[in-house]
Amino acid sequence: MNNDPIDRSTFLDKIAFGFAEDGKIVELRLLRKNGKAAYVPCEFSDLSSLCLRLQQAAGQAWELQKHALGGTDPRLMNPVRAHAVDRLQGAYSTDRKPLMSVVLKTGLRIELSIPEGDILELIEWLQELQSSLSRPKQPRN
């Protein structure tokens, strides 16, 4: 492992997009904190797998953080930016598998396939969450 200090000026600051060929080509503009940019064109059809890979990397980073914290949930230690949900919708897929659609306020729609055995546990967890939100907050000592 490299012990050199990390140059944080090379970290990602912003991401912007450009479009060509009626949206068939999407150019990702990755802007670093030091002002330098990288332009990465990709096919529209590759965006979904790119997004999934980024989410997969986030999940792996979360597990590494949890391990480094001795099993403590990293969300208790580090600020987390949550995505605001606009609405939840339930349905069945064409092959009768339970689905839950999560529509974010940004307009992003995420289709989740839910294992049938987890539905009752999900309902119980949501009911407990709702119940805990209605209880008065206990002061910390």
Residue-averaged pLDDT of the chain: 87
- Of residues 4 and 31, the one with the higher pLDDT is 31
Give me the half-sphere count of Cα atoms (radius 13 Å) on the Cβ side of residue 120.
1
- Residue 97 is assigned to a structural domain of this protein: yes
Q: Which of 59, 76, 93 is the last residue of a domain?
A: 76
In percent, the amount of the chain with pLDDT more than 90 equals 32
DSSP assignment letter at 83: P
22/2 Cα distance (integer angstroms): 44
Dump pLDDT digits (tens) for 56-90. 998 898 899 889 988 888 877 777 778 899 999 98
Nearest to 13 by CA among 47, 39, 44, 36: 36
Tell me, yes or no, whether 21 and 38 share the same domain.
yes
Its domain, for residue 125, covers 85-133
Rounded to 5 degrees, what angle do the CA atoms 91, 95, 98 make?
A: 35
What pLDDT does residue 140 have? Answer: 60
Residue 92: pLDDT band with limits 50, 70, 90: confident
CA distance 82 to 15: 18
